[in-house]
A and B are shown apart, each in its own frame.
Chain A
Amino acid sequence: MTVALSGSKIAKQLGKKFPGAVIKAGADSLLLKGESLLAVAEYLKTTPDLDFDFLNYITAVDYYDYFEVVYQFTSLKHNHGLVLKVRCYDRENPTLPSVVSLWRGADLQEREIYDLLGISFEGHPNLRRIVLWEGFDGHPLRKDFL
């Protein structure tokens, strides 16, 4: 089975290279600052002993006060996994960096989050609505959507 890496261990490793990037380290997850997401993700992918070459999924949750976007990665080589979380406090115009440049599989999922929760991903090559149609009013997975 895939081993979930310890969040605090990875946080220690990241702390040297990206000071201040990790806000909180959980048992198997890390809460990151939004602006350092792309740099950290690239580090996780390209460092040989981490080697997170596979993106399991991206999803997002509306917690009223903020949006939380969740990334799960797996290394197919080392057979270990990690969860990254990023928060977006801006409700009007939430923006995060896109990870499509690192994992192509993020393309459709980021579009879905953009469509249903209204979070923009900067650097996405083709950020359009995917499930609903152009001209649809609002983002249905937001808790205040009626």
Chain B
Amino acid sequence: MEIEEVYSRQQIDEAEGRQINELIARSQEPIPDPDDWLDEELKRNVLLTSVDAVLDWARRTSLWPVFCFPACCAFEFMTTAASRFDISRFGMEIVRASPRQADLMITAGTLTWKMAPQVKRIYDQMAEPKWVIAMGACAISGGIFRSSYSVVPGYNRIIPVDVYLPGCPPRPEALLYAIRMIHKKIASRSLIQEGK
């Protein structure tokens, strides 16, 4: 008996194309960077400051990165993860294949619109709280491919970015510096603001 193909290849392609075109239409403006909790130190009281200090310490010293390496900046990430630069010094040597076990996305590479829905889905699947480092010129603005017909001009069109790391590609030292900046940013996060 012949089984009717409900989702033919053509239908799947058309659905994918619609999804990408909708995403492009929705992503014409950059998403504002999530920095609303910065510069709020004075508003904290003594008790919450202590709780925040412990929570933020726990979060920032055990960041788990997720795989999002569409292009060449990934090699710098690999070097950073390997023994010479060794990000396990910051408690983050395990790169998770599952976004549900990760809280830091290091977006190492050029992103095309065809790949963009997948990256957005990975980001959406990550558990809160989560942070994003836009690594390299392409991740910040599309880099030299910015005017291309198929390249996303910066990850902040589809996901909010916490730290921008310039370079093409950035050196491992620069990536470590960006990770330290993420640590600082997490350290200033307060519990009472998380409902926002």
Contacts and interface: CB of A to CB of B under 8 A. Distances in A.
Given A126-B9, A140-B149, A132 B16 contact: no
A131 interface: yes
Contacts of A134: 13-14, 16-18
Interface residues of A, number: 11
B13 A131 contact: no
Interface residues on B, range: 10 to 19
A91 interface: no
A135 B14 contact: yes
- Among A129, A132, A133, max chain B CB count under 10 A is at A133
A63 to B, nearest CB: 21
Given A135-B18, A135-B21, A129 B149 contact: no
A136 interface: yes
A33 interface: no
Chain B interface SS verdict (over half):
helix
Nearest to A140: B149
Nearest to B21: A135
A124 interface: no
- Among A128, A136, A140, max chain B CB count under 10 A is at A136
B150 A132 contact: yes
A114 to B, nearest CB: 13
Contacts of A132: 114, 150
A136 B9 contact: no
B9 A133 contact: no
Contacts of A145: 149
Interface of B: 9-10, 13-14, 16-18, 20-21, 113-114, 149-150
The 7 closest A-B pairs by CB, nearest first: A134-B17, A135-B17, A134-B13, A133-B17, A133-B20, A134-B14, A135-B21
